[in-house]
């Protein structure tokens, strides 16, 4: 089995990744990150500048977030505990998939990850209590260059799960900033979105 398998998602610059997991009587072992294996799997040299970890209650919704391009902020996102409904949105004006959405369920059983290139927006919804999500990012946090888009923007039509894994109805919990985020159309009208011309420089 390959150490890291990849699946290209519908949006250019977005991949789902599956590590090889080795188990025995002691438990499991896997590589959580390997720069050479990732570069071989997706054709991108991902340089990690910062590592983040969020722990979220069931129903917590974080996003949609993106950074100015350049330099942008590529992300490798993994649920190290629990389950997260992960969403990637193409907000690069001029992109052939502009406005498109892809979603992947990340969980601590399969240990799958998503990689998203610079210029894409990202968010996730925790489907279990104490869901812990790890983010390796290519650029350090820069509050002046980071922005949000309304995760409930009707134009995006994201179908956020209404039920948790145990079947209970989710009560979405957002930060005040995320709840008041503008629509994709408003951000485009203000000229605040990444462009395809700039962002595609970060693709293989």
The single residue of 10, 22, 122, 135 carrying the catalytic annotation is 135
Residues 136/34, Cβ–Cβ less than 8 Å:
no
Query: b/e map of 103-117 (b: 16 or more CB within 10 Å)?
Result: bbbbbbeebbbbbbb
Contact 61, 173 (CB under 8 A): yes
Torsion-angle region of residue 63: left (phi > 0), alpha (psi -120 to 50) or beta?
left
Q: Report the candidate in 55, 111, 95, 29 with the shortest Cα–Cα distance to residue 121.
A: 95
Active-site option among 10, 22, 65, 115:
65
User: Is 65 considered catalytic here?
Assistant: yes
135 tagged catalytic? yes
Residue 189's φ and ψ, nearest 5 degrees, are: -65, -30
Active site residues: 65, 135
């Amino acid at each position: 089995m390959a150490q890291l398998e990849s699946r290209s998602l519908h949006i250019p610059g977005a991949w789902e990744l599956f590590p090889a997991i080795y188990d025995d009587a002691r438990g499991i072992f896997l590589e959580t990150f390997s720069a050479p294996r990732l570069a071989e799997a997706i054709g991108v040299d991902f340089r990690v500048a910062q590592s983040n970890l969020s722990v979220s209650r069931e129903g917590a919704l974080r996003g949609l977030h993106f950074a100015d391009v350049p330099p942008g902020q590529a992300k490798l996102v993994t649920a190290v505990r629990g389950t997260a409904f992960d969403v990637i949105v193409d907000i690069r004006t001029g992109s052939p998939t502009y406005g498109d959405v892809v979603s992947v369920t990340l969980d601590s059983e399969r240990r799958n990850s998503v990689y998203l290139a610079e210029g894409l927006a990202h968010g996730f919804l925790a489907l279990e209590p104490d869901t812990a999500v790890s983010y390796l990012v290519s650029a350090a946090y820069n509050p002046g260059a980071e922005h949000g888009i309304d995760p409930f923007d009707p134009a995006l039509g994201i179908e956020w799960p209404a039920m948790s894994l145990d079947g209970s109805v989710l009560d979405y919990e957002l930060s005040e900033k995320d709840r008041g985020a503008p629509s994709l159309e408003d951000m485009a009208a203000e000229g605040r979105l990444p462009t395809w011309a700039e962002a595609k420089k970060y693709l293989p």
